[in-house]
Structure formats: C-alpha cells, structure tokens
C-alpha cells in the first residue's frame, strides 16, 4: 500500500502532504486529511507527477487544474437576469490572456492543452464531437 492523503468527501488522493491542491481542498471540505489506501481514489493531477499535457476539465479536477494552469482562476456561472446578489456557482476555469493568447474560459467537459511553447488552449466539448 502506498501512503497517500485524502480528504473525506473528495475522490482524489495526494502523494504529497504539502500539495497545494490538497491545501485548497481543505478549505472547502472538512479541513482534515487522513492517510488512505489509494485503491478507491483517483490520483491528484498536481502531486502525481505526470507528463500529461492535456486534461478534460471536471468539477473534481478544477482545483488541481487551477494549480497546474498558472494564469487561471475560477469562472463563476452567470446569475439569471432576475436574480440578486453574486454568483456562488463555479462552472469552469478562466485562463487569463498571456503570451499573446486571448483570455478564454474552459467549462466542464472542455479540454485544456498545454502547448509546447508554454501557452494554453481550450477545445470546447462540442467541437470535439
Ligand atoms: Zn495533490
């Protein structure tokens, strides 16, 4: 058994107790983590060293892609026109304009790709169908 860390209520495991994605998850869940058998969990994209350069954005991996995609922040779902207040619903990742690339939003199901030059592109889920 590999020693890994997970937070109750999440589906991911972390190999590094200092992983920034684990730290972020602590803010939105119970705040405590425990060691676990990895069998029932999915590896965190940040601390499971991987050569991957392409990911499909999901609500499960958003916090990890937020760490991996440097120039990014959560994207808040627009409120219905009649609603008051501020949106508290995250529906994707905003990737800031950088290195000559336009600012773009990846929504759940879209594919985010790190290009060889260090830039990021987003392929819409419907564009791949
Ligand atoms: Zn991690």
pLDDT in tens, 2-38: 789 988 888 899 999 899 999 888 887 777 888 878 7
pLDDT at 72: 93
Decide if pLDDT at 128 tops 70. no
**129 alpha carbon – ligand 1 mean position (Å):** 31
**50 alpha carbon – ligand 1 mean position (Å):** 12
Q: Which two tokens stand for residue 104?
A: 């773009």
Q: What is the DSSP letter of 69?
A: S
**17 alpha carbon – ligand 1 mean position (Å):** 8
Q: What residue segments make up the domains of the chain, in order of their start?
A: 1-50, 51-129
**36 alpha carbon – ligand 1 mean position (Å):** 13
Give the model's confidence band at 112: pLDDT under 50 very low, under 70 low, under 90 confident, else very high. Answer: very high
Instruction: Determine how many CB atoms are found less than 10 A away from the CB of residue 5.
Output: 22
Residue 94, beta-bridge partner list: 73, 105
Return the percentage of the chain with pLDDT > 90, whole number: 41
**Exposure string over 27-58, b if 16+ CB within 10 A, otherwise e:** eeeeeebeebebeebebbbbbbeeeeeebebe
Decide if pLDDT at 1 tops 70. no
pLDDT in tens, 91-108: 999 999 887 888 999 999
How far, in Å, CA of 48 to CA of 21, rounded? 11
**64 alpha carbon – ligand 1 mean position (Å):** 7
Q: Which two tokens stand for residue 43?
A: 């590896």
């Amino acid at each position: 058994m590999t020693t890994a860390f997970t937070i109750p209520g999440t589906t991911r495991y972390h190999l590094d107790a200092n992983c920034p994605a684990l730290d972020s998850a602590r803010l939105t869940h119970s705040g405590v983590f425990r060691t676990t058998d990895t069998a029932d969990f999915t590896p965190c994209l940040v601390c499971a060293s991987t050569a991957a350069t392409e990911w499909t954005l999901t609500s499960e991996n958003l916090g990890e892609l937020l760490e991996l995609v440097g120039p990014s922040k959560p994207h808040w779902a627009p409120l219905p026109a009649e609603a008051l207040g501020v949106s508290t619903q995250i529906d994707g990742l905003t990737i800031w304009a950088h290195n000559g690339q336009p600012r773009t939003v990846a929504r759940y199901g879209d594919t985010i790709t790190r290009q060889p030059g260090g830039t990021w592109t987003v392929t819409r889920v419907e564009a791949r169908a």
